[in-house]
Amino acid sequence: MLFAILRKRKKMSNKDTLLEQAAMSAAGLEQGHVAGIFGLGLLIIIIFASLRMKQITWAMLLLLNLTLFAYLMKLTVDGGVDGNGILNADGTITRIDSEESSVASGVSGRLPALS
């Protein structure tokens, strides 16, 4: 999964790369921090494995795999955003529908009558 994530990050467009960096900056992280956190997690897993603590080792491996999978899915979904949406810094997608924008611009603040 780590290699798939690195491959997806290489294929990202400049816009997606900038949005990813903006989201990380908003969270207070830099690229070096993410690599350090990943390395520290692996080190902790190796320490618990060498101490033969099976349950916590498997739990941490599962947590690491789930985290990597979630991030891979985030990259996949963000890469699939078409031209009708705006990707926000927090990862949510704001859809822009041409029908809704034209209807909203034609209505002058009043609600339609219910029948």
- Residue-wise pLDDT tens digits, 75-110: 788 776 555 556 666 666 666 555 544 444 444 445
- The DSSP line for 14-64 is HHHHHHHHHHHHHTT--HHHHHHHHHHHHHHHHHHHHTT-HHHHHHHHHHH
Residue with tokens 């955003």: 81
For residues 29-37, average pLDDT: 78
51: pLDDT strictly greater than 90: yes
Q: Give me the pLDDT at residue 115, please.
A: 53
Partner residues linked to 49 by β-bridges: none
Higher pLDDT, 13 or 82: 13
Q: Name the pLDDT band for 47 (thresholds 50, 70, 90).
A: very high
59: pLDDT strictly greater than 80: yes
